[in-house]
């Protein structure tokens, strides 16, 4: 399963970032997923819910930003936004297109609680 290793990577990066920031708890992890990346958000969510157990991301939620697929026609240079997985030009119907958006897959941001918050409380 493709999503398994990807989710592991995302979680590892998030945990590392949180560690660097001296965070004690991760509240939210935002990731950007392109429609053409082949990644199914539901599968990532499922893997994440299993993997986060026992880590400081145990109560973290996943936030997906979906980037629509965009293809550019090699014949007429027209840019289309196909709604399904059949990639072709809206204008001339050519199937000779290049994907210019929608292959994104990266960790956008994390929301975490700092350890300092607890220190401040006692002072
Ligand atoms: Zn075209």
In the chain, what are the domain boundaries? 2-67+102-115
pTM confidence score? 0.82
- Which CATH topology does 2-67+102-115 take? hypothetical protein PF0899 fold (3.30.2320)
Angle at 58 between CA 48 and CA 9, to 5 degrees: 40
Ligand 1 center from residue 77 Cα (angstroms): 6
Ligand 1 center from residue 64 Cα (angstroms): 31
Ligand 1 center from residue 39 Cα (angstroms): 27
**Mean pLDDT for all residues in the chain:** 91
Quick check: 48 pLDDT over 90?
yes
Distance, in Å, from the CA atom of 119 to the CA atom of 115, rounded to the nearest integer, reads 7
Which tens digit of pLDDT belongs to each residue from 71-116? 999 999 999 998 777 889 999 999 999 999 999 999 999 999 987 6
3-state secondary structure 45-65: HHHHHHHCCCCCCCCCEEEEE
- Phi then psi for residue 110, to 5 deg, are -130, 150
* pLDDT in the model for residue 123: 42
Between the alpha carbon of residue 34 and those of residues 26, 58, 97, 106, the distances in Å are 24, 26, 17, 9
Distance, in Å, from the CA atom of 101 to the CA atom of 27, rounded to the nearest integer, reads 29
Ligand 1 center from residue 90 Cα (angstroms): 7
Ligand 1 center from residue 1 Cα (angstroms): 35
Q: Where do runs of H (alpha helix) occur along 1-123? A: 2-20, 41-51, 116-122
* pLDDT in the model for residue 115: 72
More confident residue, 115 or 4: 4
């Amino acid at each position: 399963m493709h999503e398994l290793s990807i989710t592991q990577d995302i979680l590892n990066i998030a945990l590392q970032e949180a560690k660097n920031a001296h965070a004690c708890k991760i509240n939210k992890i935002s990731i950007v997923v392109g429609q053409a990346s082949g990644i199914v958000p539901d599968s990532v969510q499922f893997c994440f819910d299993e993997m986060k157990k026992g880590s400081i991301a145990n109560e973290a939620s996943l936030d997906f930003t979906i980037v629509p697929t965009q293809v550019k026609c090699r014949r007429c240079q027209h840019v289309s936004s196909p709604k399904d997985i059949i990639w072709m030009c809206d204008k001339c119907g050519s199937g000779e297109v290049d994907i210019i958006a929608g292959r994104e897959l990266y960790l956008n941001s994390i929301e975490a609680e700092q350890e300092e918050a607890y220190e401040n409380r006692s002072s």
